[in-house]
Every structure is written in structure tokens, then in C-alpha cells.
Amino acid sequence: MTEQTQTPEVAQEQAAPQLALQDLAAVVQIIDICSKRGAFEGSELEAVGVVRGRFARFLQANSPKEATSAEGQPAAE
């Protein structure tokens, strides 16, 4: 039997794609920009809003607590 070995480049290509919280935050920003520019028809707005809401809630629930408190409250001087 022959044994197959993979180079690090091939193994890296086969790895599952990764998403970070910053990627999801970018999606929320893109949705906001597109809606401001009128990219969605009225019949699409509900579905787009539901998806945006799910992303936003996920980000809020999974963000580090320090970042959430810093964004939610004005900076103390």
C-alpha cells in the first residue's frame, strides 16, 4: 500500500473556512449601507431585516463583555 502525504499548503486548502466576529459585523454594516442606498425592494426588506437582526444578536451575545460595555456607555472622564 502506498501512503499519501500532504504538503502544508494542500492541508491548509482543505481546512474548513473560518469566520470571525469581525466578518459578521461587516455583514451587518453592508446590510445597513445597502438598505440606506435603496438596494432592496419593499417585499425583500422583512427577510433582510430578519437576517440582519440574527447577525446583530449573535454578535451582541458573543462579543467580549469589555467591548460591549465600552460601546454601550459613554467613556468616563
CB atoms within 10 A of CB 4: 4
Grid cell in block for residue 59: 454578535
* Residue carrying C-alpha cell 440582519: 52
pTM above 0.75, yes or no: no
Which residue type is seen at 56? A
Three-state DSSP at 18 gives coil
What residue type is assigned to position 13 of the chain?
E
Distance separating alpha carbons of residues 65 and 52, to the nearest angstrom: 21
| pLDDT surpasses 90 at 6 | no
**Domain spans, the chain:** 19-65
Measured distance CA(57)–CA(28) in Å, rounded: 11
In tens, the pLDDT along 13-65 reads: 678 889 899 999 999 999 999 999 999 999 999 999 999 999 999 999 998 87
